[in-house]
Structure 1
Amino acid sequence: MQISDKKVASIHYTLKNDKNETLDSSAGSEPLVYLQGFGNVVPGLENALAGKKAGDTFDVTVAPEEAYGPIQSELVQEVPRDAFDGVEEVSVGMRFEAQTASGPISVEVVAVEEDQVTVDGNHPLAGETLHFNIDVVEVREATEEELEHGHVHGPGCNH
């Protein structure tokens, strides 16, 4: 069976950046199981997986535009330190949920000045070209419930 929309695929993967640093991998653990055609993985990877079958192994490079997008400078902002009321110490690397006009987003503190804090709302992999090594483990039909919910059900699922 080939990977196509409304199919569940199980894959092992290793994700690297342009510096050949491993960013994530399923090696030594359970494969990633996702529902094709529902945006459960980045678009460039989903497109590359279409038509593959169990036993296929391949490499794919995904440009930022087909992954987490380019870096959006408007998502990097300086905010007053007092916006973090109740947080004793704000430091670089801390993550917070910020309320925006289009809803909540996760932001990371990238700089701390005396009265100003710079936060970045870009995804941590925005602007990165992603290099995947993929091993397709299994392809199966999705259940009606998985199709209805738009994701795979399995251990830890609360549906």
Structure 2
Amino acid sequence: MKIESQHVVSLTYDLYVNQEDGQEGLVESATQEQPLTFLYGAGQMLPRFEENLSTLSTGDSFDFKLSAEDAYGEYNDEAVANLPKEMFEGEGAELPEVGSILPLQDNQGNRFQGQVVSIAEDSVIVDLNHPMAGQELHFKGEIINVRPANPEELAHGHAHGPDGHHQH
């Protein structure tokens, strides 16, 4: 079956990015046993990712690259925040470790993540860039299933697994 809007797509993929030595390295995979399953056209995936799949059908393979601009954007040096240490103090609270990922929320209630890059005398410095910002993404994989979304999935705006049922 051909991929169309409001269809549920299940696929396998290997995601490669360029490592510091210039070689491509595998950073993420979805397997036959645990495929990536999503409602096509619902805005959950990167738009260019979906665009590259738009002509495919069940059983087709794909191999494409997304520039940083079409993926998670260029790395923004300005997107680094100094959070006051007081935010992390209080009963049972500990300072986060360098490298840890913090769930954050802005004043509008938007949720996002930041990675702790260093801890200064009075603040915790957090990088708010997406971990893959500035990276060209190289996807290789195969479409393993395409099916029309069921009414419940369309109402919820997301897929309920490869077979249309919630997995518990």
Same fold (TM over 0.5): yes
The within-5 A match list for 1:9-88 is 9-19=9-19, 20-27=24-31, 29-86=33-90, 87-88=93-94
Larger mean Cα displacement after TM superposition, 8-17 or 109-118: 109-118
After superposition, give the CA deviation of every residue in 1:104-157 in whole Å (9 maximum; x if it has no partner).
322221111222211112221122111000201111111111111111013655
Match among 93, 97, 101 for residue 91 of structure 1: 97
* Coordinate RMSD, CA, aligned: 1.9
TM-score w.r.t. the length of structure 2 is 0.84
Aligned length: 158
Q: Which residue of 2 aligns with 1:7?
A: 7
Contact 2:62–2:140 at 8 Å: present in 1 too? yes
Structure 2 unaligned segments of length 5 or more: list them.
Answer: none
Contact 1:44–1:63 at 8 Å: present in 2 too? no
Residue 123 (str. 1) matches residue 161 (str. 2) = no
Q: Percent identity between the aligned chains?
A: 37
Residue 134 (str. 1) matches residue 141 (str. 2) = yes
* 3-state SS, counterpart of residue 66 of structure 1: coil
Larger mean Cα displacement after TM superposition, 148-157 or 50-59: 148-157
Q: Distance in 2 between matches of 1:51 and 1:70?
A: 28
Shift of 1:90: 2.7
Contact 2:12–2:32 at 8 Å: present in 1 too? no
Structure 1 unaligned segments of length 5 or more: list them.
Answer: none
TM-score w.r.t. the length of structure 1 is 0.88
* 3-state SS, counterpart of residue 138 of structure 1: strand
